[in-house]
Structure 1
């Protein structure tokens, strides 16, 4: 009797509305101190090779992504949101099992009547 294959599951991990203080911007007033930046991350994961067994060792630990973004945001001054997003994409795609990442940033305090931001999506090379 042939073993029945489990249906492939679409798996994602996300971080929503992550508020950070980031040194970011090209204008002199933006270089005076950090600004609030809202980060959203959506990670598309490869199908699982094995059941997770309710063990953190068998899944992507989102603490690594969260803490990596915190470290990255505090590591330097970013002139552009695009540069920050690209750096976060690099971090995310370096994690095992991540095949695609979508990252957005928003600066909610630039204008009083809206938020401005940038979003990019990238797939792991070879996928």
Structure 2
């Protein structure tokens, strides 16, 4: 019998992130969910992108968790593998926060990140 290879989840949502995505979906009845992607830009090299969308693109990865729907752009999958998406509120801001194991750095303002694809990470020594 062949050995099954278990792949890590692309993105998991905290309860707070799922609640926020559901509230965004409720505010726009035509919205299918929140699409997340990665684009080049910012002083650290890459930025997360997010937009409420009304339809799925052909190759989007769909994650449904606790009533929230997250669509992942195919070009972002290797940069997001194993990421936890949270939603945090403090005295001055409310925002989605990505706890991404593929992140190697971030700029001082927090708007851009330095990411490497999951396949390029060096193996961990045990």
Q: Considering fraction of residues, name the structure with more strand.
A: 2
TM over 0.5: no
TM-score, reference length from structure 2? 0.24
Larger radius of gyration: 1
- Tell me the TM-score normalized by structure 1: 0.23
Higher helix share goes to which structure? Answer: 1
